[in-house]
Structure 1
Amino acid sequence: MARARQTAPGVGERIQSLVGKDQTLEQFAQKIGVSSRTLGNYLRGEREPSYEFLRRVRTICGADINWLITGEGTAERALAVRGEAPNQVSIPRYAIQASAGDGAVVLSQEIEDFFTVSPDWLARYLPKGAKAGIIEARGDSMEPTIADGDILLLDFSISSSVVSDGGVFVISVDGALLVKRLQLTVDGHILIRSDNDLYEQEKVTREFADERITVHAKVVWAGGPIRKR
């Protein structure tokens, strides 16, 4: 997405000023959690920014909402998205929970808030340019690997080869969102496994998987509070 042809004076210009010199509007829109089309409408003055958009800009960029709307005050804290704070990367946390159990219905994909980490830490788990996200796990079927309430760092930029190599993934089966370990067998079937031995594994055909299972992301890191022994 190229920069907006006509940036509206006022709010549009102030939003535009938050975009880094080496950053496209598409990248900025993805960072904020809106579509490129929506961002373009805001920049051109064709739509008034929603409160949710302004809240996200405040959370990620550090920009004051009053400054965004009125122009009064300053945007000195608006550094993270512009690349002027190289020690910070914002990762969206989605308002959904994946069940490490019998399944949770997918209710929402709205961004709840953001986690800020260092790029060096993120590079340990994700390749450069990968789309990252965070959700919360519920249930005990993946213990001890993943505990109830753990936050999960996800890599959404996965290919079929990544799935074939196996690992822990966020999948949906008939509308239920699950965290499970996937393994491709030599006879072409797929094992859907839990790390908790109390749960039985399931073996499905590739045809079943293609029709009823969607692999959304790979879990590359999980963490939570220290538990009592």
Structure 2
Amino acid sequence: MTDFVDDPRTALARLLADKGIDYAQLSAAIGRNPAYIQQYIKRGSPRRLGEEDRARIAAYLGVAEAMLGGPALRVAAPASRRGPDMVLVPKLAIGASAGAGRMVDGEAVEGEVAFDPKWLRGLGADPRALSIIRVEGDSMAPTLNDGDDILVDGGDAAGRLRDGIYVLRLDDALMVKRIARAGAAGRIAVISDNPQYPSLDLPMASVRLIGRVVWTGRRVR
């Protein structure tokens, strides 16, 4: 017998219905206009999800990208080893520059890391919107060092903006920086913790906040 898999639009519509999430809520969670997901599902525009949107939707809904038209993922560990109640967080195969900024074409998922849901709740993080990426560069040292893994909450972005460390896009470059509200309305300060790097005062509209950094892990050197 052949198993039939829903096309990505049908699968996404079914996931949203099952989880009680409306189209506008998901659109906002991935930083798109309120009608974006509805247009994708109902009107077929865009024809397919971009890699970035697909990865963020998969992380937000806690599903594999393959359900949304992406490639099959490599699972970090068998279920028997990670326990039935662990939250699997996708690890994206990219780095967020803590330097001048890295240009990226898309964010493919290279694996998953299991976390205790109670521990995640203690961080105040939304398990449905988490992802792990790697820091590249030293402009955020000593807070974040080159090669550190950071846990990013995509549900905590522009809509809940407050001072803290965020992953952001600026001129299509992916960065990790400290964000603070600037004195003038509609502007933010993009700050490097390393004093050797300049900080910027920018209009909020020029920066796309991807998510807030809620935890970091690093190798012992």
Aligned twin of 1:131 = 129
Contact 2:157–2:211 (8 Å) recurs in 1: no
1:33 positional shift = 2.6
Aligned twin of 1:197 = 195
Tell me, in whole angstroms, the C-alpha distance in 2 between the residues paired with 1:37 and 1:199: 39
Matched, 1:215 2:209: yes
Contact 2:96–2:133 (8 Å) recurs in 1: yes
Aligned twin of 1:95 = 93
Q: Helix, strand or coil for the counterpart of 2:142? A: coil
Tell me, in whole angstroms, the C-alpha distance in 1 between the residues paired with 2:81 and 2:63: 13
**Matching of residues 41-190 of structure 1 within 5 Å:** 52-53=71-72, 55-56=73-74, 59=75, 62=78, 85-86=84-85, 88-128=86-126, 130-163=128-161, 165-188=162-185, 189-190=187-188
Tell me, in whole angstroms, the C-alpha distance in 1 between the residues paired with 2:136 and 2:110: 17
Give the gaps of 5 or more residues in structure 1.
Answer: 1-8, 14-23, 39-49, 63-76
Contact 2:182–2:201 (8 Å) recurs in 1: no
Cα 1:172–1:118, aligned 2, differ >3 Å: closer, same or farther? same
Contact 2:167–2:210 (8 Å) recurs in 1: yes
1:222 positional shift = 1.1
Aligned twin of 2:37 = none
Contact 2:117–2:127 (8 Å) recurs in 1: no
Tell me, in whole angstroms, the C-alpha distance in 2 between the residues paired with 1:31 and 1:146: 27
Tell me, in whole angstroms, the C-alpha distance in 2 between the residues paired with 1:170 and 1:37: 24
Tell me, in whole angstroms, the C-alpha distance in 2 between the residues paired with 1:115 and 1:37: 20
Aligned twin of 2:50 = none
1:185 positional shift = 2.0
Aligned twin of 2:65 = 34
Aligned twin of 1:19 = none
Pairs aligned (count): 171
Q: Helix, strand or coil for the counterpart of 2:214? A: strand
Contact 2:165–2:178 (8 Å) recurs in 1: yes
Q: Helix, strand or coil for the counterpart of 1:124? A: helix
Cα 1:37–1:203, aligned 2, differ >3 Å: closer, same or farther? closer
Cα 1:141–1:78, aligned 2, differ >3 Å: closer, same or farther? same
The higher relative CO (CA closer than 8 Å, separation ≥ 6) is in 2
Tell me, in whole angstroms, the C-alpha distance in 2 between the residues paired with 1:115 and 1:198: 34
RMSD across aligned positions (CA)? 2.9
Return the letter of the residue paired with 1:146.
L
Tell me, in whole angstroms, the C-alpha distance in 2 between the residues paired with 1:37 and 1:214: 23
Q: Helix, strand or coil for the counterpart of 1:179? A: strand
Query: TM-score normalized by structure 2?
Result: 0.67
Q: Helix, strand or coil for the counterpart of 1:187? A: coil
Return the letter of the residue paired with 1:85.
P
Cα 1:147–1:159, aligned 2, differ >3 Å: closer, same or farther? closer
Identity of aligned residues (%): 28
Give the gaps of 5 or more residues in structure 2.
Answer: 6-13, 20-57
Query: TM-score normalized by structure 1?
Result: 0.64
